[in-house]
Amino acid sequence: MPTKIIMDTDPGIDDAAAITIALNHPDFDLQLITTVAGNVTVDKTTLNALKLTKFFHKNVPVAGGAAQPLIKPFEDAARIHGESGMPGYDFPTDLDQPMSMTAIEALRDHIMAAKEPITLVPTGAYTNIALLFKTYPEVIPHIKEIIAMGGALGKGNMTSAAEFNVFTDPHAAAIMYAAGVPITMVGLDVTMKALLTPDTMTKLPTLGKTGTMLHALFNHYNDGDQAGIPMHDVNTLFYLLHPEAFTTEKMWIDVQTDGPAIGETVGDIRGAYHEGKTNATVCVDIDAAAFNTWFLTAVEAIG
């Protein structure tokens, strides 16, 4: 049976690649897309999600969510993803409308109506997740797990300590990690290893309309280097389908919410500060070659 998932996201170019796979892969049943301010403003992330559902002719509901972090001033990543968040390709303009309810209400309704616990896949700031848990704590027992892109045990990509998604709303991240839901942290420790290689990029435009669209977006993605480009958010889906490609460690994750290390995810790697308790499974290594092969195979299957 396909894994039932909800994506909470801020597309964004790598988010677009993740949504592309989630919408089309036979092993996923994407129930809902909720959007949040992150890579660009929430009006743009919502529009971009609608562009993708229209492009693929998928009737997956989209609900717009938080326009700003809980406390911290909002900083986007338009310098990385472009002003629109998804430049480089002419998407359809006759888009469907987002849901009339907010992302928080849509998340609550979908989770509570599901016949079995559902998996959340947040690939942007965790503002919507935090608001959901604080507003409707009754949903927590109905969530199977959270596979979250974000965080780092080492070097950040926003500051020396902080990864972008957690840095954007560290207070929301702290709430999510404290909620007691099983969490897998898919952070920079693996996403900066699982780069799409130049060879993969060369093959993409030969894989039909989907490959052409993604290749166009990736050519406007101001991230990566000559070794390749990171597909941060796609790693969450790769983990769900192929956990054997990852090396993981269980540990306690604390989130710094102020000071020069704001947004840092601090892993208690020695088990020294939480009486041996853990609150996350942390991805620490990945088979990058397997990721590239899987990504090309997934895109080719969409056509």
* Distances, alpha carbon 241 to alpha carbons 181, 208, 227, in Å: 20, 23, 25
Is 232 tagged catalytic? yes
**Helix (H, G, I), strand (E, B), or coil: what is residue 303?**
coil
233 CB-near residues (< 8 Å, 6+ apart):
9, 12, 14, 15, 17, 18, 123, 149
Write the DSSP assignment of 46-89 as a string of letters: HHHHHHHHHHTT----EEE--SS-SSSPP---HHHH-SSSSTTS
Tell me which of 110, 220, 232, 242 is the catalytic residue. Answer: 232
Relative to beta strand 62-64, strand 118-122 is: unpaired
11 neighbors 85 (Cβ within 8 angstroms): yes
The CA distances from residue 259 to 76, 127, 264, 265, 292, in Å, are: 20, 20, 10, 13, 38
Q: Are 120 and 6 in contact (CB under 8 A)?
A: yes
| 3-state DSSP assignment of residue 5 | strand
- The residue among 6, 2, 257, 252 whose CA lies nearest residue 129 is 6
Token pair listed for 78: 């338009």
Assess contact for 45 and 11: CB atoms under 8 A: yes
As annotated, the active-site residues are 232
